[in-house]
Chain A
């Protein structure tokens, strides 16, 4: 039984087929990797799943419900939370306020309660703070709760996006390049945090990531796309040996990027032959 299932999802921008019939299934509590070279359509897949884009064909099934074409707010309320590749925090708000904005599951007080500042409003505010601090603790940001979000270093901003997404109390978390801009020790910590979220919060996690060592060590199953088409799927050990995957990474426009990617794949392949402990 899968929690998210994409059935031949298509997305066309003008004459460009950004995604051409991609299908995959993610099992509950799985850590699922979605990889591919730049421009392969990974973020577009996220945008279709979360309702930012309407699919031009196929459907997205979440927990037994067809959610294709739903609005982003509705998808979020239903239980799919996400982070953004190009960090989208509420920059002028504090770290804690950023998290609280997503606190719809806690929110009981209506606007009249807020105007009257009654008991229900106070209870809400307390619950918001407690829950937000708990999530910030998990992501290692508790001490920065009162800082302005824009003042955080890049890696912390990425973790704050995860904390904010968790506030929705989702079943599925879509992470769009969470390790981008992190140094290797931060990336190692992120791996632990991702596993923690799956183990302790029973989350299903779908990960788009270019940092191959993170992908190979944390993901249980990997789906590879290139030019909007599926080229491989399987456990990390299988995917990283797949000639089509290697070709996709080698066939990039800039030789430097191709070599860097190849090195990363190779390094991951030699350093961790078996992914799970």
Chain B
């Protein structure tokens, strides 16, 4: 019964997204639709980054690197895979969907694997080592890509087609992945894993004394967060039509940090708000080009002075706060069920 209900909800969400996608792409100017899609990617990035920076309290400042890994992997896999799949399934929606999602999952997987490689040595230590290591990692990835000839070097990678990468990215896929990422990360956050991650961020020594496998959980959180960045990267690649190393400079990592700090470190809904905020303001400040960094810095200073916990702090904005449900606060709801 529970699963039937869930299937129905899932179907309804897919249907709604399909409808939304159709309406936006057909009846709204492309510029606005594009901003909406960029906001969606920001949400994925912010919700993912929040798991490690907010919930676990381990600061990563090189997440653009994972986004780059995801973007290049997705672009490369899709380019290689498209002719093969076209040979079997022909052309149309289905083969495109298969190619794109396989590409996205491959991007997420490679970003996650990179996350393990970066995370294991730096997360074994207590302290801010992750920040230093990820800062270096982001730059290393960018320089590697700049020098990788088979990926186009500094001019970037745009597949074999003169028109660039196939424009797979649309509102439907972006927001379907937004929903998937939010649901997965929310369910992890509100579980024993999430409680343990929060415990690590509160007091690592106490968490360890209570039997929490701290290193393993930190790596898990970091890996999940890298995978989310990888998906956002893949979506971004097929929206742009090409990927260049310069798309993943340090400012992009800073943008992500602004998103989660604005929304409130440790809050998923806060990350969503922050993602949309940065997506919209980036567009509004487009004419200011480099000066936007000054404005962001100013904004960060103001937030730190006025509301250091961000818009929502650690709290979540949720329906379950208004209508208590079992899933949102399992620990409490389960207690109420006792006879």
Cβ of B211: which chain A residues have Cβ within 8 Å of it?
73, 76-77, 102, 104, 168
Interface centre among B203, B210, B212 (most CB of A within 10 A): B210
- Tell me if A71 and B208 are in contact (CB < 8 A): yes
- Give the A interface residue count (CB, 8 A): 47
Cβ of B205: which chain A residues have Cβ within 8 Å of it?
52, 72, 88
Chain A, Cβ-Cβ closest to B214:
A73
> How far is it, in angstroms, between the C-alpha of A82 and the C-alpha of B211 when the chains are bound?
11
Which among A20-28, A108-116, A186-194, A229-237 touches the partner chain?
A: A108-116
Contact with B along A82-116 (1 / 0, CB 8 A): 10100011111110110011111001010100111
> How far is it, in angstroms, between the C-alpha of A229 and the C-alpha of B337 when the chains are bound?
54
Tell me, rounded to whole Å, the shortest Cβ–Cβ distance linking B266 to chain A: 9
> How far is it, in angstroms, between the C-alpha of A130 and the C-alpha of B332 when the chains are bound?
10
Report if B199 contacts A (CB, 8 A). Answer: yes
- Tell me if A96 and B195 are in contact (CB < 8 A): no
- Tell me if A97 and B331 are in contact (CB < 8 A): yes
Report if A204 contacts B (CB, 8 A). Answer: no
User: Given contacts A73-B212, A115-B187, A115-B188, is CB(A129)–CB(B206) below 8 Å?
Assistant: no
User: Given contacts A73-B213, A93-B198, is CB(A146)–CB(B332) below 8 Å?
Assistant: yes
Question: B interface, how many residues as a size bin?
Answer: 20 to 34
Contact with A along B193-227 (1 / 0, CB 8 A): 10110110011011111111110000010000000
> How far is it, in angstroms, between the C-alpha of A89 and the C-alpha of B193 when the chains are bound?
18
Cβ of B292: which chain A residues have Cβ within 8 Å of it?
none
- Tell me if A114 and B187 are in contact (CB < 8 A): yes
Q: Which of A2-50 contact B (CB under 8 A)?
A: 50
- Tell me if B334 and A101 are in contact (CB < 8 A): no
- Tell me if B209 and A52 are in contact (CB < 8 A): yes
Q: Which of A133-179 contact B (CB under 8 A)?
A: 133, 145-146, 164-165, 167-168
Which among A119-127, A212-220, A241-249, A262-270 touches the partner chain?
A: A119-127
Cβ of B212: which chain A residues have Cβ within 8 Å of it?
73, 101, 104
Tell me, rounded to whole Å, the shortest Cβ–Cβ distance linking A72 to chain B: 4
Chain B, Cβ-Cβ closest to A87:
B206
Contact of A122 among B196, B198, B214, B330 (CB under 8 A): B330
- Tell me if A92 and B192 are in contact (CB < 8 A): no
Contact with B along A202-228 (1 / 0, CB 8 A): 000000000000000000000000000
Chain A, Cβ-Cβ closest to B330:
A125
Contact with A along B295-339 (1 / 0, CB 8 A): 000000000000000000010000000000011001110110110
- Tell me if B195 and A114 are in contact (CB < 8 A): no
Chain A interface residues (CB < 8 Å from chain B) = 50, 52, 71-73, 76-77, 81-82, 84, 88-94, 96-97, 100-104, 107, 109, 111, 114-117, 121-122, 124-126, 128-130, 132-133, 145-146, 164-165, 167-168
Chain B interface residues (CB < 8 Å from chain A) = 183-184, 187-188, 191-193, 195-196, 198-199, 202-203, 205-214, 220, 314, 326-327, 330-332, 334-335, 337-338
Known: A102-B210, A104-B211. 15 other contacts (CB 8 A): A72-B208, A73-B208, A73-B213, A73-B214, A84-B206, A88-B203, A92-B202, A92-B314, A93-B195, A93-B202, A97-B331, A101-B196, A101-B210, A111-B188, A124-B192
